[in-house]
Structure 1
Amino acid sequence: MKLLHIILAGIAGTALMTFFMYIMTFITDRVMKVTQILGTMLTFQTSPDGNLSDSRLAVTVGIIGHYLIGIAFALCYYGLWLLSIGQPDFQSGIWLGIGSGLAAIIFWYSFFVLHPKPPAISLKPYLLSLFMAHLVFTFGVIVTYNWLRS
C-alpha cells in the first residue's frame, strides 16, 4: 500500500509541477510547457523553425515521460526516508526540492547541449522556473503522501 501511496504522490506532485510551469508560460509569455518540450525532444520532432511539436506522438511521449520521471523522483524520496535520510516534512522538503531542482537543471541543460536540434526556447528562464517547479513538485509529493497515509 505504501508503494501505491508514493506512486500517487509522484503523480500529484508532477501534476502540480506541470500546472506551475504552464502558469509560468502564461505569466512570462515564454515557452515553458515542460511536457511538450520533453516530448518534442524525445521524439526529435522540433519544427524547422525551432518550435515545439504539436504531434500526438510528441505530446503523448512528453506526458508519459514526465509522469514516469515524477514517480521515479518520488520513489527516490521514499527510499531516502526508508534509510532515515530526512522524512516527509517541510524541512526535508526544502532540501529534496533544492536537490531535485539542481538535478533537473543539470539534466535539462545537458539534454539541450547534447540534442541535435533542441527547440528554440530561452534556456536560462526555463531552467530557473524548472528549479522553482521542483520545489512545488516536492511539496506536492510530501503533502499528498502524508494525506494518503493518514
Structure 2
Amino acid sequence: MNGIDIILAGVAGTAIMTAFMYGMTFVTKRVMKVVKILGTMLTFRTSPDGKLSDTPRAISIGIIAHYAIGVLFAFIYNSLWSRGVGRPDFESGIWLGIGSGVAAIAFWYSFFAIHPNPPAISLKHYLVTLFLAHIVFTYGVILAYNFLK
C-alpha cells in the first residue's frame, strides 16, 4: 500500500468518526464535537463560562490536528498489517478499534487533567462516546484501505 492510499484511508476513517461524533452531539444533546473541543483546548480558547471556541483559528487547528492523528493511526495500522499483526478485516478491526479507543481515552483524560482551562463538558459521556467512535474510525480506515488496495 502506498503512502497516498494510507493517507486517504486515514482521512476517510477520520471523516466517518467525526460524523459519528457530531451525530452523537445531535442525538444526545451533549457536546461531542471533537474538532471544536480539540481546537479549543489546543488554542487555549475556552470561554470563561466553559464554552467551546467558534474562532476560525481554533476550528482550523482542531481539524488539522484531528485529521493528522487519524492519518498517523492509519500508518500505524498499515505498519502492523504489513508485519503480519492482524489484517484489515472485521476481526482485527474490533481489536484495533478497542486499542485505539483505550489510547484515546488515556490521551483525552490526561489532556483534560493537565489543561489549565478545559471546556465544561461531561467528560465521562465524551470518553465513552469517543471510545465507540474509535471503533467506527477503525472500520472506516479498513473499508477505505480495502477499497483503495
TM-score (norm 2): 0.99
- Residue 46 of structure 1 aligns with an amino acid whose one-letter code is T
Aligned residue in 1 for 2:132 = 132
Aligned residue in 2 for 1:63 = 63
Aligned residue in 1 for 2:10 = 10
Shift of 1:3: 1.3
How far apart, CA to CA, are the structure 2 residues paired with 1:123 and 1:56?
24
Shift of 1:82: 1.2
Please state if 1:52 is matched with 2:52: yes
How far apart, CA to CA, are the structure 2 residues paired with 1:56 and 1:125?
26
Shift of 1:111: 0.2
Aligned residue in 1 for 2:113 = 113
Shift of 1:35: 0.2
| Percent identity of equivalent pairs | 67
Runs in 1 of length 4+ with deviation above 3 angstroms?
none
> SS in structure 2 opposite 1:27?
helix
How far apart, CA to CA, are the structure 1 residues paired with 2:2 and 2:102?
27
Please state if 1:123 is matched with 2:126: no
How far apart, CA to CA, are the structure 1 residues paired with 2:120 and 2:83?
41
- Residue 98 of structure 2 aligns with an amino acid whose one-letter code is I
Tell me how large the CA RMSD over aligned residues is: 0.6
How far apart, CA to CA, are the structure 1 residues paired with 2:13 and 2:110?
24
Unaligned runs of 5+ in 1: none
Please state if 1:73 is matched with 2:100: no
TM-score (norm 1): 0.98
Shift of 1:31: 0.3
How far apart, CA to CA, are the structure 2 residues paired with 1:72 and 1:124?
25
* CA displacement, residues 76-125 of structure 1 (integer Å, 9 cap, x when unaligned): 00010111100111111000000000000000000000000000000000
> SS in structure 2 opposite 1:71?
helix
Aligned residue pairs, count: 149
